[in-house]
Amino acid sequence: MGGLGKLIKTLQLDTRLLGMIGAFLLIAFIFNIATGGTFLTPRNIFNLTLQTASVAIMATGMVFVIVTRNIDLSIGSIVGVVGMVMGLVQAFWLPEIVGFGSPVIIVVTVLVGIGLGVLIGGFQGWMIGYLMIPSFIVTLGGLLIWRGAAWWVTRGTTVSPLDQNFVMLGGASGTIGVTASWALAALGAAATVWFLMRSRRQQMAHDIAVKPLWAEYALAGILVAAIAGITAIINAYEIPTRVLQRRFQREGLEMPEGYTEAYGFPISVLIVISIVIIMTIVARKTRFGRYIFAMGGNPDAAELSGINTKLLTVKVFALMGGLAGVAAIVASARLASAGNDLGTLDELRVIAAAVIGGTALAGGVGTIYGAILGAFIMQSLVSGMGMVGVDAPFQNIIVGAVLILAVWVDIVYRRRTGEA
């Protein structure tokens, strides 16, 4: 263990991140044995990414909310009301103006969804920041209000079918194929190596101690191998033969004997990756991100230093609302319908993902990548338990116990590392 610890220290790896990766792999390994090797098949991993997408998107915003010592219990209900409004826009309102199948529908629907989420989130943030109402109360009220509004929009009627172009954003029917997936992986690997080289040059320019060159190469190799491995697994999930046959028949062609084709990365996963990159840049490289962590670390000191904490609160909740709008897009597109129960209990899953990912409820500490891993751990637990036949009530018991355990482990970790 001494040699392993020295290696981890030399590579400057985040021990918390390694712990979460280890937990995820352990969960996957246990469920793979319990399901007779089904859990780690390309098909199940592909479906796991689809199921995690909407929660992962919102978890990135929840990191900012919790870091500022707030909470948002309304995001699941915001997903519901935004999804219902978008359903009406694309199924009833716009087709009467531009006709069914028009490319205008997807553009307007997406803008309406994100815009409505930003407005709702910003309004709640205004009440929290300027009226000084605790975020728990405001968003608890929002949970009830927006869930009721989701039902009121269509009187509880599910809106279906949705625009075919819009449905592709959910990933179930919208993928980029094998070639584009490998091209994206190559771009990601190149960007990873470039980022590591750039960080090293910046550290050396500021006389900051850097890793040995071999450690830099080793870390780059691990990350590139991880990108290639994930891409290979996703690309191994082939489109069923009957689906290919129907597609060839619609095109009036005969499918060649032995012809196969894989899905590649779902569009919803690309949306998640894009948001993770953007939110990470915001957190680490922008004044807005620095203000968020400064406010979470010490709100009084942040205000005395000139940060408008009230306006910052509005911006954080508006951002959270916008991400809830994006999650509503992905979730409703995946289901190809909009029901008033869309997003039910998502607020608990998102908060759990952020906390499991290392975001401190006391504020000031949190990472975007941690929240994403937390979301995958949560969904892996739920999906795995469903596959082995665990009853829903017992699933909730286990997920709740895991959440409490994660918080306890986080508290112990911070005490030992001096972060508490």
Render pLDDT for 221-230 as a digit per residue (tens, 0 to 9).
999 999 999 9
- Whether residue 134 is contained in a domain is answered as yes
Whether residue 294 lies inside any domain: the answer is yes
pLDDT given at position 14: 74
Sequence-distant (6+) residues with CB within 8 A of 206 are: none
Residue 236 domain flag: yes
Q: What is the pTM of this model?
A: 0.94
In a domain, 368, yes or no: yes
Residues 349 and 360 in one domain: yes
Q: Which of 265, 291, 318 is a domain's end point?
A: 265
Domain assignment present for 415: no
Q: To 5 degrees, how large is the angle CA 190–CA 196–CA 197?
A: 90
What is residue 173's predicted lDDT score, i.e. its pLDDT?
81
pLDDT-derived band at 419, boundaries 50, 70, 90: low
What pLDDT score does 219 carry? 87
Taking all residues of the chain, what is their mean pLDDT, rounded to a whole number?
A: 92
Inter-residue contact 368 to 319 (CB < 8 Å): no
Does one domain contain both 162 and 93? yes
93 and 226 in a common domain: no
- Structural domain count, the chain: 2
Domain check: are 199 and 313 in the same one? no
Write down which residue in 249, 265, 281 finishes a domain.
265
**Is position 381 within any domain?**
no
Checking if the pLDDT of 416 tops 80, the result is no
3-state per-residue secondary structure call for the chain? CHHHHHHHHHHCCCHHHHHHHHHHHHHHHHHHHHCCCCCCCHHHHHHHHHHHHHHHHHHHHHHHHHHCCCCCCCHHHHHHHHHHHHHHHHHHHCHHHHCCCCHHHHHHHHHHHHHHHHHHHHHHHHHHHCCCCCHHHHHHHHHHHHHHHHHHHHCCCCECCCCHHHHHHHCCCCECHHHHHHHHHHHHHHHHHHHHHHHHHHHHHCCCCCCCHHHHHHHHHHHHHHHHHHHHHHHCCECCHHHHHHHHHHCCCCCCCCCCCECECEHHHHHHHHHHHHHHHHHHHCHHHHHHHHHHHCHHHHHHCCCCHHHHHHHHHHHHHHHHHHHHHHHHHHHCCECCCCCCCHHHHHHHHHHHCCCCCCCCCCCHHHHHHHHHHHHHHHHHHHHCCCCHHHHHHHHHHHHHHHHHHHHHHHHHHCCC
Radius of gyration from C-alpha coordinates of the chain: 22
Mean pLDDT of 132-140: 97
Q: Which of the four pLDDT bands, split at 50, 70 and 90, describes residue 418?
A: low
Residue 161: asked if its preceding bond is cis (omega within 30°), the reply is: yes
Structure tokens at 380: 């892996």
Indicate whether 228 and 359 sit together in one domain.
Answer: no
What region does 257 belong to: left with phi over 0, alpha with psi -120 to 50, or beta?
A: beta
142 plus 201 within the same structural domain: no
Q: Which domain holds residue 65?
A: 55-173+266-373
d(CA 137, CA 195): 42
Picking from 60-69, 103-112, 207-216, which range would have the lowest pLDDT averaged per residue? 207-216
Q: Is residue 290 in a domain?
A: yes
- Residues with Cβ within 8 Å of 85's Cβ and at least 6 positions away in sequence, in order, are 112, 113, 116, 153
Is 130 in the same domain as 167? yes
Same domain, 249 and 226: yes
Q: Which of 233, 265, 297 is the last residue of a domain?
A: 265
**Are residue 82 and residue 146 in the same domain, yes or no?**
yes
In the predicted model, is pLDDT for residue 70 greater than 80?
Answer: yes
Whether residue 169 lies inside any domain: the answer is: yes
Buried b / exposed e over 377-388, threshold 16 CB at 10 Å, is bbbbbbbbbebe
Out of 13-22, 78-87, 335-344, least confident range: 13-22
List the one residue out of 162, 168, 166 whose CA is nearest residue 104: 166
pLDDT at 247: 85
Q: pLDDT at position 2, please?
A: 58
Q: Are residues 113 and 250 in the same domain?
A: no
Percent of the chain with pLDDT over 70: 98
pLDDT of residue 361: 85
Q: Residues 369, 270: one domain? A: yes
Two structure tokens written together for 399: 């997920």
Residue 151: CB atoms within 10 A of its CB come to: 16
pLDDT in tens, 168-192: 999 878 899 999 999 999 999 999 9
Question: Could you tell me which of 334, 279, 249, 253 has the C-alpha nearest to residue 67?
Answer: 279
Task: Read off the pLDDT of each residue in 51-72 and give the average, rounded to a whole number.
Answer: 97
Asked whether residue 258 falls in the same domain as residue 283, the answer is no
